[in-house]
Structure 1
Amino acid sequence: MNNPLMIALIIEGVVIVIMLVVLFWLARTQQKLKHDYLVLNDIVHGNTNDIVGLCTAALTVDSRIAAVDNRIAVTDEQINDLAIKLTEVGNNDQSDHPYSVDIRKVKSGASINELMQSSGLSHDEAALLIRLHGSKHSL
């Protein structure tokens, strides 16, 4: 009688020891997982802060780019208006200028004698036009 009771008590003791070892192992594993969770939570929190900072910087850069785009558009309009005015003034000046035909001849390479013969200019007038509007190699 004692023998089966002793065997049952020994088996119960071994099972209790095994359960205590497993319980200790589970507690230790739970502590490691808790530590890993806290580390990962800190990393995620840091990444979230970095993303918020990057988004804020991107919005600031976007607003600056929009302001520069507006300035470029305004400047482009002003340049186009000035170009139109200069073209109008240039066309009016060239057509109204008494020497416009002679200046074109000088730019195409006419000499002093050619200007004097074709346009009836004096030698000094032809030389002055060539000096003002001619290329350097024609002097």
Structure 2
Amino acid sequence: MDWHFPYFILTALVVLVLAGTLLLFRAYRTLRRDYAVLSARLAQQQNDLIGLSAAAVQVDRRILDQERRLRDCDEKLASLASQETGYQSYRAAIERLKDGADPRELASQLGLSLSEANLLAHLYAERES
């Protein structure tokens, strides 16, 4: 009987090693599958990051373009504000008064008030005499 007992232990150890190997192989397959899933997710996130970066560059370009356009508009507005726009309509009114226009015509055509047109006619008449 002494020979049977070590064979029983040896058989049990072989069975345990085989069971452990089977468990390790199943764990290896699970880890391999999880690795493939994580690799696919990582690739997708990298693609998403590339897309977001490209979109951010486009947004930056649009913002810079809008800022440039806004600066241009501000400069135009400042130059228009510095010009005397009323001076031009008064100048046109004086030219028409020289041609013999009536103050009522000036008021309706140039957008002046009747009192402004009368004042220009009065001032122009004084300069002529």
| TM category, shorter | 0.5 to 0.7
- Say if 2:7 is the partner of 1:9: yes
Deviation at 1:53, TM superposition (A): 0.4
Match of 1:79 among 67, 77, 94: 77
Gaps of 5+ in 1: 98-124, 135-139
Deviation at 1:72, TM superposition (A): 1.0
Distance in 2, matches of 1:66 and 1:51, equals 22
Distance in 1, matches of 2:24 and 2:12, equals 18
Q: TM-score, normalised by structure 2?
A: 0.66
Write the deviation string for residues 51-84 of structure 1: whole angstroms up to 9, x where unpaired: 1001001101111110111011011101110011
Deviation at 1:90, TM superposition (A): 3.4
Distance in 1, matches of 2:113 and 2:87, equals 17
Map of 2:48 onto structure 1: 50
- Say if 2:95 is the partner of 1:90: no
- Three-state SS of the structure 2 residue aligned to 1:16 is helix
Q: Aligned letter for 2:86?
A: G
User: How many residues are treated as equivalent by the alignment?
Assistant: 98
Gaps of 5+ in 2: 94-102, 115-129
Map of 1:59 onto structure 2: 57
Distance in 2, matches of 1:12 and 1:93, equals 116
Match of 2:22 among 21, 24, 31: 24
- Three-state SS of the structure 1 residue aligned to 2:3 is helix
Structure 1 residues 89 and 133: alpha-carbon distance in aligned structure 2, compared to 1, 3 A threshold: closer
Identity score, percent? 29
- Three-state SS of the structure 2 residue aligned to 1:4 is coil
Task: Detail structure 1 runs of 4+ shifted over 4 Å in the superposition.
Answer: 91-94
Map of 1:115 onto structure 2: none
Distance in 1, matches of 2:77 and 2:86, equals 16
